[in-house]
C-alpha cells in the first residue's frame, strides 16, 4: 500500500496507484514502465538470474546506464527496507488495513 500512496503523492493516476497495490500487470503502463516493473520483479525474486539480456532489454526501452543503475539501487533499497521491517516485526501502517 505504501507504494500506491507514494505514486499518488507523485501525481500518478488513481488507476495506476490502485494496481501498484495489487498487480501492475493490470495497469495501463507504457512499454518502458512495464519493462522496469518486470525487471524489478525479476531482481526481487530471481536476482541470481538477472543477466546481460535483462540490461539489454532495459536499454532497448531507452534507459541508459545511469537510469538502469538508479533502478537497481531503488529496487535493492526497497527490498532491504522491507526485509528489515519484516525481520524486526514492524506492522503495516493502520490506515493500510482498509486497502
**pLDDT at position 2, please?**
57
- Alpha helix stretches (DSSP H) within 1-99: 2-9, 14-20, 31-45, 52-60, 65-88
Q: Are 29 and 37 in contact (CB under 8 A)?
A: yes
Q: Residue 69's domain spans which residues?
A: 2-91
CATH (domain of 23): 1.20.1290.10
pLDDT of residue 18: 65
CB contact at 8 A, 21 and 3? yes
Least confident of 9-13, 26-30, 62-66, 83-87: 9-13
Q: What is the mean pLDDT of residues 44-50?
A: 96
Is 99 among the domain residues?
no
Residue 14 maps to a domain: yes
Q: What is the DSSP letter of 89?
A: T
pLDDT value at residue 23: 78
38 contacts 73 by C-beta, under 8 angstroms: no
Give the count of domains, the chain.
1
Does some domain include residue 17?
A: yes
pTM of the predicted protein model: 0.74
Does residue 97 lie in a domain region?
A: no
Amino acid at each position: 500500500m505504501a507504494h500506491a500512496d507514494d505514486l499518488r503523492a507523485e501525481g500518478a493516476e488513481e488507476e495506476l496507484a490502485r494496481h501498484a497495490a495489487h498487480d501492475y500487470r493490470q495497469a495501463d503502463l507504457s512499454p518502458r514502465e512495464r519493462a522496469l516493473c518486470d525487471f524489478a520483479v525479476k531482481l526481487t525474486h530471481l536476482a541470481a538470474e538477472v543477466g546481460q539480456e535483462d540490461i539489454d532489454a532495459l536499454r532497448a526501452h531507452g534507459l541508459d546506464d545511469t537510469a538502469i543503475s538508479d533502478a537497481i539501487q531503488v529496487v535493492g533499497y526497497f527490498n532491504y527496507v522491507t526485509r528489515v521491517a519484516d525481520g524486526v516485526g514492524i506492522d503495516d501502517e493502520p490506515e493500510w488495513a482498509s486497502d
